C-alpha cells in the first residue's frame, strides 16, 4: 500500500511545497520511503530516499525542486523489500521523459518483465513492479512514433496497458512540457481522486490516493477516477477523462475501509468514518446475541484505526468507553513496518497502558482486524500486566486467512494467526478469555451502505476470492518463495537527489 499525489498549477512554480504537504497528509499509507519529482522548462528535478516525508526533504532539497507540476509518492514495502533503489517516483527518458508513481501490485510481473526484455527491448533495473508498469506504458507510447503527443495518445497507450497488465494499480505520471495524467485498474482496487483549487493567481489540479489530501489543502473534489478511467491534465489546465478499459468492474479493496484509509477520507463516495461507525454497530449486535454484555466493564480501543468502531460499539452496548491505551505518535504504524522482527519490537514502544482503566476490570479490547496476531497477543498481555480481571477481544473485520496480492504485505497464509485455526484456537493463541469477529456479510454491508452502486468488493484476504481471476495456489506459493529470497538477499542502498536533463518543452 502506498500513497500517490500529482499537482499541476497553471501559474505557480512552487508545486513541490504543496506535494510535500499532501504527502505528509498521506504518510499513513507508507512510512518506508518518500519521493518527489517536479518539472521545470523541460527538465525533471527529483529527490527520493528511505524515511518519513519530514526526514527525506530538507530546505535545500525543496528549493531545488522547481516547476509548475510534479508528482510524489510515499512507499509501503511489499515482497520483503525496502531498498532505497525502489523508492518512487520512477523515471524513464524515452519517450519524451516520463516520471511515474504507482500504488498497488501487479500479478503478472514476471510475464511482463520477459516481454519488456524480449519484445519491447527495455531494461528493468529494480525488483519493483512499479518500474515494470511504467515501462509497459512507455513502450506503448513509443509505438505511436510521434514527436509531440496529445490526450488521445495517452488514452490509447493506457488502453494497451489494461490489455497487458493484471493486478491492482492506481498511477500518476508526468511528461515534461505536456502535463500530468493518472489511471486506475479496471477493477478499481486502489483509490484515486481528482480535485482542483481556483484562486486569483490561477488554478491548481491535484490527483491523490485519498480525498483528505485534497480537502485539507483547500481543493474542491471533482470526482473519483472510475475503474479503467484515465485523466489527463495539460499545462494549460485542460482536463480530459476517458474510459480506457473494455470491461471495467468496480471492486475496491475493502481493507482500505477497515484499516488503511484515514477516517476523514471519502473513497468512491463512501465515507470511511461512517463505514467504521457501522462496523461498530454491527459488531455490537453480534456481541449482544452471543455474549452476556453484563460481563463487560469497559470497552477500550486499540488506537488508532479501531477508535471509531469501538466508540460506536460501546454506545450501542451501553458500556463505558475508555482510552486505556495511549499511543506514542512517533512510532510508525506497526502493521506496515517491513519485517516481523521490527513489528514485534515496536508494539510496546508504540503503546502504553493507563493502569486504572484495567485494574480489576473485565475489559473488551477492540481492534480493526487481527492479521499476524503479533500486536494482539502483546496488547492482551499488557492488559493483564495492568491488572485486568478478564480480557475480551473484538475484531471489526473477519478473520484474515488468505494473502492479499494487490499491494498489502500479506504474502503467506502461514503468517496469519487464523491460519488453520478456528476462533477458539485463535482465542487461546492470543491469550484472551473471549474473542469475536465481524461477519464478512456484515462488513460488506457496512461499507456498501455508503455507495450502493458498488456491488462487489475485493475481500480476498477474508474469503480467498481474487477479483482479477488469475490467482491460484501455484501463484501464491511462487510469491512466497520470491519474498523469502528477497529477504535473504538484503537491500542495496543509495540516495537519489538529482537533476535529469530533457529537451522536451
CA atoms of 319 and 322, how far apart (whole Å): 10
The closest of 136, 135, 143, 198 to 165, measured between CA atoms, is 136
- 446 part of the active site: no
Beta strands in 14-84 (DSSP E): 33-40, 43-50, 69-75
CB 158 within 8 A of CB 116: no
> Which contiguous run of DSSP H or E holds residue 301?
strand 298-301
Which residue in this structure is represented by grid cell 484562486? 199
The closest of 279, 321, 329 to 296, measured between CA atoms, is 321
> Which contiguous run of DSSP H or E holds residue 207?
strand 202-208
Q: Is 352 exposed, middle or buried (0-12, 13-18, 19+ CB in 10 A)?
A: middle
CA atoms of 182 and 221, how far apart (whole Å): 16
Within 8 A by CB and 6+ apart from 7, the residues are 15, 18, 19, 22, 69, 70, 71, 180, 204, 205, 206, 207
Q: Determine phi and psi for 443, rounding to 5 degrees.
A: -60, -45
Provide long-range contacts, Cβ within 8 A and 24+ apart, for 415-419. 415/340, 415/371, 415/372, 416/371, 416/372, 416/373, 417/370, 417/371, 417/372, 417/373, 417/376, 417/377, 418/370
Would you say 455 is a known binding-site residue?
A: no
Would you say 368 is a known binding-site residue?
A: yes
CA atoms of 373 and 296, how far apart (whole Å): 22
The closest of 77, 69, 71 to 1, measured between CA atoms, is 77
Would you say 120 is a known binding-site residue?
A: no
Catalytic residue among 2, 244, 253, 459: 2
Q: Determine phi and psi for 252, rounding to 5 degrees.
A: -65, 155
CB 368 within 8 A of CB 414: no
Q: Determine phi and psi for 85, rounding to 5 degrees.
A: -65, -20
CB 447 within 8 A of CB 275: yes
CB 180 within 8 A of CB 484: no
Which residue in this structure is represented by grid cell 522482527? 341
Residues at the binding site are 305, 367-368
Catalytic residues: 2
Residues at the binding site for Mg(2+) are 305, 367-368
Amino acid at each position: 500500500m502506498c500513497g500517490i499525489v500529482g499537482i499541476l498549477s497553471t501559474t505557480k512554480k512552487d508545486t513541490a511545497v504543496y506535494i510535500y504537504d499532501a504527502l505528509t497528509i498521506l504518510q499513513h499509507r507508507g512510512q518506508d520511503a518518500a519521493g518527489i519529482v517536479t518539472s521545470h522548462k523541460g527538465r525533471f528535478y527529483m529527490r527520493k530516499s528511505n524515511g518519513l516525508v519530514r526526514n527525506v526533504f530538507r530546505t535545500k532539497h525543496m528549493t531545488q525542486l522547481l516547476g509548475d507540476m510534479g508528482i510524489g509518492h510515499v512507499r509501503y514495502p511489499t515482497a520483503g523489500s525496502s531498498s532505497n533503489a525502489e523508492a518512487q517516483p520512477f523515471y524513464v527518458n524515452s519517450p519524451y521523459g516520463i516520471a511515474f508513481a504507482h500504488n498497488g501490485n501487479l500479478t503478472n510481473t514476471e510475464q511482463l518483465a520477459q516481454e519488456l526484455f524480449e519484445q519491447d527491448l527495455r531494461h528493468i533495473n529494480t525488483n519493483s513492479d512499479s518500474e515494470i508498469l511504467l515501462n509497459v506504458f512507455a513502450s506503448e507510447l513509443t509505438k505511436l512514433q510521434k514527436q509531440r503527443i496529445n490526450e488521445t495518445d495517452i488514452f490509447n497507450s493506457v488502453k494497451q496497458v489494461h490489455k497487458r497488465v493484471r493486478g491492482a494499480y492506481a498511477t500518476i505520471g508526468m511528461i515534461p512540457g505536456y502535463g500530468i495524467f493518472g489511471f486506475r485498474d479496471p477493477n478499481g482496487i486502489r483509490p484515486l481522486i481528482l480535485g482542483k483549487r481556483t484562486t486569483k493567481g490561477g488554478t491548481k489540479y491535484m490527483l491523490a490516493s485519498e480525498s483528505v489530501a485534497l480537502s485539507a489543502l483547500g481543493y474542491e473534489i471533482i470526482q473519483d477516477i472510475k475503474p479503467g478511467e484515465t485523466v489527463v491534465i495539460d499545462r494549460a489546465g485542460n482536463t480530459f477523462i476517458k474510459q480506457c478499459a473494455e470491461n471495467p468492474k468496480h471492486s475496491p479493496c475493502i481493507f482500505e475501509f477497515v484499516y488503511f484509509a484515514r477516517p476523514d477520507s471519502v473513497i468512491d463516495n463512501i465515507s470511511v468514518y461512517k463505514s467504521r461507525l457501522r462496523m461498530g454497530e454491527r459488531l455490537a449486535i453480534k456481541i449482544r446475541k452471543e455474549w452476556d454484555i453484563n460481563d463487560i466493564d469497559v470497552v477500550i480501543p486499540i488506537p488508532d484505526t479501531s477508535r471509531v468502531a469501538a466508540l460506536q460499539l460501546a454506545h450501542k452496548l451501553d458500556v463505558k468507553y475508555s482510552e486505556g491505551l495511549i499511543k506514542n505518535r512517533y512510532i510508525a504504524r506497526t502493521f506496515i513496518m517491513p519485517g516481523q522482527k521490527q513489528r514485534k519490537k515496536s508494539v510496546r514502544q508504540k503503546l502504553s497502558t493507563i493502569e486504572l482503566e484495567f485494574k480489576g476490570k473485565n475489559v473488551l479490547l477492540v481492534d480493526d482486524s487481527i492479521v499476524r496476531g503479533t500486536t494482539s497477543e502483546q496488547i492482551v498481555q499488557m492488559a493483564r500486566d495492568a491488572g485486568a480481571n478478564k480480557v475480551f477481544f473484538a475484531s471489526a473485520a473477519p478473520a484474515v486467512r488468505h494473502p492479499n496480492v494487490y499491494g498489502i504485505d500479506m504474502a503467506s497464509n502461514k503468517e496469519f494467526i487464523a491460519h488453520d485455526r478456528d476462533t477458539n484456537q485463535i482465542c487461546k493463541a492470543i491469550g484472551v478469555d473471549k474473542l469475536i469477529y465481524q461477519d464478512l456479510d456484515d462488513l460488506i454491508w457496512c461499507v456498501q451502505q455508503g455507495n450502493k452502486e458498488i456491488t462487489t468488493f475485493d475481500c480476498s484476504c477474508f474469503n480467498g476470492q481474487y477479483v482479477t481471476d488469475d490467482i491460484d495456489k501455484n501463484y501464491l506459493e511462487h510469491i512466497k518463495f520470491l519474498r523469502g529470497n528477497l529477504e535473504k538477499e538484503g537491500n542495496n542502498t543509495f540516495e537519489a537527489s538529482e537533476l535529469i536533463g530533457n529537451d522536451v518543452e
